[in-house]
Structure 1
Amino acid sequence: MTATTIDEVIENLEQIIQQSISEESTFGYFAALYQNVTINIKEKLGKGYFDDDKRMEQLDVIFANRYLDAYSNYKVEKEITKSWEIAFKSSTNSMLIVLQHLLLGMNAHINLDLGIAASQVTDDKTIASLEPDFNRINELLATLVDEVQKDLAEIWPTLLKILKFSKRVDDFLIDFSMKFARNKAWEFANELVKSKEVEKEKLIELKDNEVSKLSEKIIYPGILVKLLFIIIRIGERGKPSDKTRALEKLVEDKLDNL
């Protein structure tokens, strides 16, 4: 399921979405959200938003392939990073709310994969020139949480009221959205490009372990957050396919307008 263009990324994500819907799998949640972000990036190409469109499409494809390869390898029981393994294994955890499934995917993909992808489209001499576009792609990625909250409101309209009711839940969302990821992914990319090839594998392993610990916190949050999540889980309506379609609705509208 490896992609070579941004259009192929969108197509492959659509395959995962449709397969997840037919199998009643929660895998479709993150795929639907990620397809939305990819479409946003595609819409920005060729319009002066990025300094280097060619490099940004290359980054997008390499970045997406980290997820696509992890998904494909997990399906055939091949070894993958710990952070993705935790996210995928959690797909059968019936106690997790949709938001937790999405945050697990965001955590693995942004906090681990983004820095790796950025390091693969540049080197220690040219990485500084990537920073403005890297920040712009981060701005697009930062919309993930906003899109999550807006789309999940269709699954359970009272969700936003509960999230706003508790500042602790608010802080939980911020901590696992872009607050941690913005600077850390860029720092990780710089660390990788400045390291020798023999050191990179160890750095990735260490980062994977760090991100995996965050995954555990998403699955097992504090007592107050956990109690509110239980209430949310009881109120979530529909099967996984219904929830995936709710998340996909915005994506379909964007595809129609391309």
Structure 2
Amino acid sequence: MEAVLARMHELDRALPAHDGVAVFNRVYLTVTETLHGRIGGGDFPDRRRAGDLTVRFARRYLAAVESAAEGGRSPACWRPLFQYRRHPGVRPLQYALAGINAHIGHDLALAVVDTCRALGLRPVDLEGDFDRVGDTLIALEERIREDLMPGPDLLEVADPVTHLLGSWSLQRARDGAWAAARLLWTLRRTPDLAEEFTESLDSGVGLVGRCLLTPLAVPHPRLPARAAVAWRG
């Protein structure tokens, strides 16, 4: 756990503050530190099992970041965030939720299967740990939205933000990840079908991420009213 936290801290120091990956990394660093504290504090019945799941989960995000940095081909679910990470029309909250969408919708399901294979378990054995991880994420989601949502004045002119982000739910993404993990486990003896389903899951989550990162033509809050009208054309 310490190794993945150290790498996230390195990214936090290295990336520009407004970079989309940096925005998500700060959110995920908070989540991982919270989980680390809960595991160490005894909130999970089996510390080793919960720690293994959390680390395998985090490594999938870090592997995607490393692949993008080296010019490699990242999973489809992460590509929208990497492609739009410096777009002036995308808001910080969009970056955060797009990263959460990729990580929960795709990576979590695969991390459950990875953990089951490594520890000789079945998904049902990890259900309690999965639910505790999900509960931690949901508890932090409201704070994330409050911290990154535009202020009231900007929100009034950026009404599409409310509509766009209201169409996505972390709870539904978590439920989908659990269903995907169970299906992948069932398909483990038919590798061709498992690979086909994984690719479909990846591309579907990537499509949702691209929608979440739709650039919004929002006047910069520091522009005077006349300049804002001119900016909007």
Name the TM tier (shorter chain): 0.7 to 0.9
Aligned position for 1:20: 15
Aligned position for 2:229: none
Aligned position for 2:82: 88
Q: Spell out the pairing of 1:48-87 with structure 2 (5 A cutoff).
A: 48-87=42-81
CA displacement, residues 204-228 of structure 1 (integer Å, 9 cap, x when unaligned):
10101111221222123xxxxx7xx
Aligned position for 1:143: 139
Contact 1:86–1:215 (8 Å) recurs in 2: yes
**Is 1:126 equivalent to 2:112 in the alignment?**
no
Shift >6 Å, 4+ stretches: none
TM-score (norm 2): 0.83
Deviation of residue 126 (structure 1)?
2.4
How far apart are the structure 1 equivalents of 2:65 and 2:121? 33
CA displacement, residues 182-211 of structure 1 (integer Å, 9 cap, x when unaligned):
210000110111112333222110101111
2:220 pairs with one of 234, 237, 240: 234
Across the aligned residues of Structure 1 and Structure 2, the Cα RMSD in angstroms comes to 2.6
Higher relative contact order (CA 8 A, sep 6+): 1
Deviation of residue 68 (structure 1)?
0.4
TM-score (norm 1): 0.75
Unaligned residue ranges in structure 1 (runs of 5+): 1-5, 221-225, 238-258
Aligned position for 1:179: 171
SS, match of residue 78 in structure 2? helix
How far apart are the structure 2 equivalents of 1:94 and 1:88? 14
**Is 1:194 equivalent to 2:186 in the alignment?**
yes
Deviation of residue 230 (structure 1)?
4.0
- The code of the aligned residue for 1:162 comes to L
How far apart are the structure 2 equivalents of 1:65 and 1:37? 14
CA displacement, residues 35-61 of structure 1 (integer Å, 9 cap, x when unaligned):
000000011113331122111111111
Pick the structure with greater CA Rg.
2
- The code of the aligned residue for 1:7 comes to E
1:99 pairs with one of 81, 90, 93: 93
How far apart are the structure 2 equivalents of 1:236 and 1:203? 47
Judging changes above 3 Å, is the alpha-carbon distance between structure 1 residues 28 and 61 closer, same or farther for their aligned structure 2 residues?
same
Judging changes above 3 Å, is the alpha-carbon distance between structure 1 residues 234 and 118 closer, same or farther for their aligned structure 2 residues?
same
Judging changes above 3 Å, is the alpha-carbon distance between structure 1 residues 136 and 170 closer, same or farther for their aligned structure 2 residues?
farther
Unaligned residue ranges in structure 2 (runs of 5+): 224-233
How far apart are the structure 1 equivalents of 2:47 and 2:180? 23
- The code of the aligned residue for 1:143 comes to A
**Is 1:116 equivalent to 2:110 in the alignment?**
yes
- The code of the aligned residue for 1:69 comes to A
Judging changes above 3 Å, is the alpha-carbon distance between structure 1 residues 236 and 172 closer, same or farther for their aligned structure 2 residues?
farther
Deviation of residue 234 (structure 1)?
2.1
How far apart are the structure 2 equivalents of 1:15 and 1:30? 14
Aligned position for 1:211: 205
Deviation of residue 125 (structure 1)?
6.1
How far apart are the structure 1 equivalents of 2:109 and 2:74? 17
Judging changes above 3 Å, is the alpha-carbon distance between structure 1 residues 150 and 49 closer, same or farther for their aligned structure 2 residues?
same
Contact 1:106–1:177 (8 Å) recurs in 2: no
